[in-house]
Structure 1
Amino acid sequence: METNEEVNVGFLTTLKPTVNFANKMSAKEGQSWGPRTISDCQLIFVESGKATLTLGEKTYSLNAGECVFYGTDSSHKLVSSNSNPFTFMSIHFDWNSESTNPIHPLYGIRDCQLTNKITTYKVKLDEQWEVIFPHHFIIPNIDSMFANIVKEYRYEEQGYTFILRGLLTQLITLIIRNEINGNPSLGERRKIAPALEVIRKQPENNWTIHELADICGYHPTYFSSIFKESTGYTPKQYLINERIRKAKHLLLESKTVEEVSIKLGYTSIHYFCRNFKSTTGLTPTEYKLQSLEL
């Protein structure tokens, strides 16, 4: 039976969270962390690949786009897949600290035996309403928020600890808002996880609904239904969004519009420009010039 220790971290509006460590890495086949406990809290976003997290009496099979959270003295073990090792971003943090200076988590990590003990964190929204911070969740496009925190921590530019506090506050608030509004169906999301991963890795391919459905092992009609329910987009629109997301990065790397169009699998530069403008409100050239001006 799972045993919970509850911690009330206080009001959301008065939290002073501090990032202790942030990193992005690609795990090796079968690489594991734990069984262990940590002295602060940890958020993990799976960018690609697969992993398994054992936390208390629950085991989570993690795919691209999924997030997990655990805190102080929660017995856990994280293991990368042998066949499809994962790439992930990790944030260690404290909920409330007067200082913004990071305290490296290395010295607070302890080896342990796996137990059913986990720590549950509650955040107060007002005098009557509080939210339990989730251990497992999916939020569309949350990867950019993790990436910004990793970047600030890594480069340590002037005032970075204050920026980290602001970014972490924003991330925590988004997670709580998502919890209030109701999580997307994790079960349905897992069903389409293989399709999401191939689109993320190979957006230049002209994936058809039949191909994506076959990868997941479902009939195209059923696949299309659960895809729209889980992501809010049709498979075609999701593929376009991934292409445009990648196009933004390529345009900022001084690639020409034609080069980006070809690299992302478009046979017509005009069709690429139309997709880009309908998604961003700007033509690729306008986006490129705006980015240079800013």
Structure 2
Amino acid sequence: MEEFERAVDVGMFSLLRPTVNFANKMTAGPGQTWGPRFITDCQLIYVVSGVATLTLGLEIISLHAGECVFYGANSPHKLVASETEPFTFMSIHFDWNTDSPNPSHPLHGIKNCFDTDLNTPNSIYKLNVDDQGEMIFPQHFLMPNMENLFAQIVREYRFEEPGYPLILRGLFIQLLTFIVRHELSGSYLIGEKRKIAPALEAVRKQPDINWSLTELADLCGYHPTYFSSIFKETIGYSPKQYLILERIRKAKQLLLEARKVEEVAIALGYTSIHYFCRNFKTITGLTPTEYKLQSLEL
């Protein structure tokens, strides 16, 4: 309950206008320590090489190459570099949603605290990701292919070339999007969402199958009533609604490939063209034919 009370609702992901306040790459000295402290913006750390230990709220996290860690405002933390394995990392301070893309240096917002404050649960951050529903932004995750994107952000911040605040915002949106996609793919699902991961994956991979509630529940090993309850609570949609959303998402892709409406409906498991068109218009506001024509005009 205490963790829930410290949850921060960031809002709709597609509407965010994040600002990078600071970005840097450095190699720490043996045993170099940051904290215990808290910050007033948010921070992402990417480990290039070496080892460090992060105490974040009630958790102690060992950080290695290719791993990322995130913490938000007013979450007490302490980062300690290894004495024997040189710790090289990239760090980004940011705000989730601001009007101006211009960086606001975070130094004034860094406050020291006491070791006893590390017993305070850290804040969690929730996003609403369009048709995917609500998700918790991951705290500790592995993304070894993100080094180049972090490095681009560090470079833009350091050199301050004309227009760099907008470039920083664009690159950081790209970084956040990759993290969100990575989380939604199921590799590092947490909490209740991990329980329904097999069903989510099945629907995404095979939206053409007319999955029943019992079949999806069996994939996760739960009674249909319990499965339906946690599915709706976690995703924000019933399993049937989610299947329809995935079908229409796939339908839009197929329609843009110049596929015929009837052909798309059949490919996605619809036995009624009328029912497919009704679903499509309910979700998109357009009929499949209107969607195709509008795309061609643009």
TM-score by length of 1: 0.61
Aligned equivalents of 2:188, 2:9: Cα separation in 1: 25
Q: Quick one: which of 183, 188, 194 aligns to 2:187?
A: 183
What residue number does 2:269 align with? none
Q: Quote the residue 1:291 is aligned against.
A: none
* Separation in structure 1 between the aligned mates of residue 131 and residue 48 of structure 2, nearest angstrom: 37
Q: Residues of 2 paired with 1:33 and 1:9: CA distance?
A: 26
**Deviations 1:121-170 (Å, cap 9, x if unpaired)?**
11101377111000101123101110000000000000000000000001
User: Is the CA contact (8 Å cut-off) linking 1:7 and 1:120 kept in structure 2?
Assistant: yes
Q: 1:156 aligns with which of 160, 163, 174?
A: 160
Partner residue of 1:60? Answer: 61
Whole-Å separation in 2 of the counterparts to 1:11 and 1:58:
28
Give, in whole Å, the separation in 1 of the partners of 2:42 and 2:188.
Answer: 24
In structure 1, how many angstroms separate the alpha carbons of the residues matched to 2:54 and 2:86?
13
Q: State percent identity of aligned pairs.
A: 59
SS in 2 for 1:141: helix
Output the CA distance in 2 between the equivalents of 1:180 and 1:128. 8
Superposed CA offset, 1:22-41 (max 9, x none): 00000000000001000000
1:34 paired to 2:35: yes
- Structure 1's unaligned 5+ residue stretches are 186-294
User: Is the partner of 1:102 in helix, strand or coil?
Assistant: coil
Does the Cα contact within 8 Å between 2:65 and 2:144 map onto a contact in 1? Answer: no
> Is 1:173 aligned to 2:177, yes or no?
yes
The residue correspondences of 1:15-26 to structure 2 (distance < 5 A) are: 15-26=16-27
Q: Is the 8 A contact 1:137 1:183 kept in 2?
A: no
Is contact 2:40-2:73 (8 Å) kept? yes
Query: Distance between the aligned counterparts of 2:113 and 2:105, measured in 1?
Result: 20
CA displacement at 1:182 relative to structure 2: 1.8
Q: CA shift at 1:12, angstroms?
A: 1.0
What TM-score, normalized by structure 2, do the two folds share? 0.60
Residues 184 and 133 (structure 1 numbering): CA distance in 2 closer, same or farther, change over 3 Å? closer
- AA matched with 1:132: I
Distance 2:10 2:63 in 1: 27
Pairwise CA RMSD: 1.7
- AA matched with 1:60: I
Output the amino acid matched with 1:71.
Answer: G
Aligned to 2:141: 137
Moved over 4 A (4+): none
Map residues 209-248 of structure 1 onto 2, 5 A cutoff.
none
- Asked which structure has the greater CA Rg, the reply is 2
- Compared CA separation, residues 72 and 26, structure 1 to 2 (3 A): same
Cα distance, 1:122–1:44 mapped onto 2, change above 3 Å: same
Which amino acid letter does the alignment assign opposite residue 133 of structure 1?
F
Count of aligned pairs: 185
Q: Please state whether the residue corresponding to 2:119 is helix, strand or coil.
A: coil
Deviation for aligned residue 1:104: 0.5
Given that 2:29 and 2:81 are in contact with CA atoms closer than 8 Å, whether structure 1 keeps it comes out as yes
Unaligned runs of 5+ in 2: 190-298
Does structure 2 retain, via aligned residues, the 8 Å contact 1:30–1:85? no
